[in-house]
Amino acid sequence: MKRILVTGGNGFIGSHTCINLLQKDYEVIIVDSFINSSRDFYERIKILANRIDPKLLTRIKIFEGDIRDKNLLEGIFIKSINDGKRIEGVIHFAGLKAVNESIKKPSKYWDFNFIGTFRLIEVMEKFECRTLIFSSSATVYGYSKEFLITESASINPKNPYGYTKAAIENFLKNIFNSKPNKWRIACLRYFNPIGAHSSGLIGENPNGIPNNIFPFINQVANGRIQNLEIYGNDWDTRDGTCIRDYIHVMDLAEGHILSLEFLLKNDCKFINLNLGTGIGTSVLELVNIFQEENKVKVPFNYADRRDGDIARIVADNSLAYSLLNWKPTKTINQMCKDGWRWQQKI
């Protein structure tokens, strides 16, 4: 049974991936500072693990701390060796993700995202743990003329958050090139993860006003926020609103497990992979499907376009399919249903 360290495993995507890892017979060690999640949320992960199978509970533990703290990370690796088992790989979610905040506080984003990854790599190298899955983002692409964006599209981020992700990808490529026979690295470029675990026990629960559209829609639907603003209805798209590639968080979690298995069973590799569905949904379509599927109202109005937004970004996911045999299975209707089920239980 392999032991995997999951940084930021108490967050939205990390928590779903941890459940999946446990179900696939991995041992999971989470390190999370709770800067964007809560200790209570970890209790929910444990309740869900226990409900699936009480034996899973013996295979998950959490360390509270910041990945920029090298001593903390080293302590986790040492403790693991002393327990009789090495950490064989790391799935690295820990980071900040609010685009608007990154524009106002770029240094904070370079510190958390870039320095955090830098420290992690130093410690992984020291303990000769050289298998890494990194949470990158479709934000690295910026604007592209391609209808479906491939991994070879130009990297052209539009905000500090995106710059940190692009810089980390480059840094990881340098690390790989320095020891190409030692490292196994996958940078997973997520499109727009939404939805929640079908149990309704875990999901996305951002602190404060949500930055992403889906938690925003949920909070308008439950009355916590009065109104949704849709940024622009004059884009060059079928209904004038922006088109995005929404992917169910459980499909995304599965993409991590398959990437990890792929890295562990193949020769050393560095790969960039799009994880999206390849299906574009406009913001207006998303709002309408959410309302119909859940029989709720989401009042909205149109506002000006936001700086740096782009009309359409949808994944070409054929590389993930050919390398991993990964195919997303859940529809946009399912994403809306699962997301709302979770929202009602928070």
Ligand X SMILES: NC(=O)c1ccc[n+]([C@@H]2O[C@H](COP(=O)([O-])OP(=O)(O)OC[C@H]3O[C@@H](n4cnc5c(N)ncnc54)[C@H](O)[C@@H]3O)[C@@H](O)[C@H]2O)c1
Coil, helix or strand at residue 163? helix
Residue 190, beta-bridge partner list: 137, 275
Q: Does 44 bind ligand X (CB under 6 A)?
A: no
- Among positions 50-69, residues that touch ligand X (CB under 6 A) are 66-68
Contact 310, 162 (CB under 8 A): no
The burial class, CB within 10 Å (0-12 / 13-18 / 19+), for 180 is exposed
Q: What are phi and psi of 28, to 5 degrees?
A: -125, 125
- The Cα 140–Cα 149 span in angstroms is 11
Contact between residue 126 and residue 74 where contact means Cβ atoms under 8 Å apart = yes
Q: Annotated catalytic residue: which of 26, 42, 161, 190?
A: 161
Determine the size of the site formed for ligand X (CB under 6 A).
Answer: 29
Query: Where does this chain touch ligand X (CB under 6 A) — which range of 51-59, 90-98, 149-157, 255-263?
Result: 90-98
Of 80, 131, 135, 259, which one interacts with ligand X (CB under 6 A)? 135
Burial level of 302, CB count in 10 A (0-12/13-18/19+)?
A: middle
Residues in region 3-42 near ligand X by CB under 6 A = 7-8, 10-14, 31-37
269 makes contact with ligand X (CB under 6 A): no
Residues 196-235 contacting ligand X, CB under 6 A: 212
Q: Which is nearer to ligand X, 35 or 299 (CB)?
A: 35
Q: Work out whether 160 is an interface residue with ligand X (CB under 6 A).
A: no
Q: Between 46 and 268, name the residue whose CB sits nearer to ligand X.
A: 46
Shorter beta-carbon distance to ligand X: residue 31 or 273: 31
Minimum distance from residue 267 beta carbon to ligand X (Å): 27
Q: Per the structure block, which two tokens stand in for 99?
A: 């685009």
DSSP H or E segment with residue 28: strand 27-32
CA-based torsion, 172, 213, 275, 40: positive or negative: positive
In the annotation, is 231 catalytic? no
When asked if residue 100 is in the footprint of ligand X (CB under 6 A), the reply is no
Applying CB under 6 A, among 44, 59, 97, 197 the residue interacting with ligand X is 97
Which residues of this chain interact with ligand X, rule CB under 6 A?
A: 7-8, 10-14, 31-37, 66-68, 93-95, 97, 112, 116, 135, 137, 190, 192-193, 212
So which residues are the catalytic ones?
161
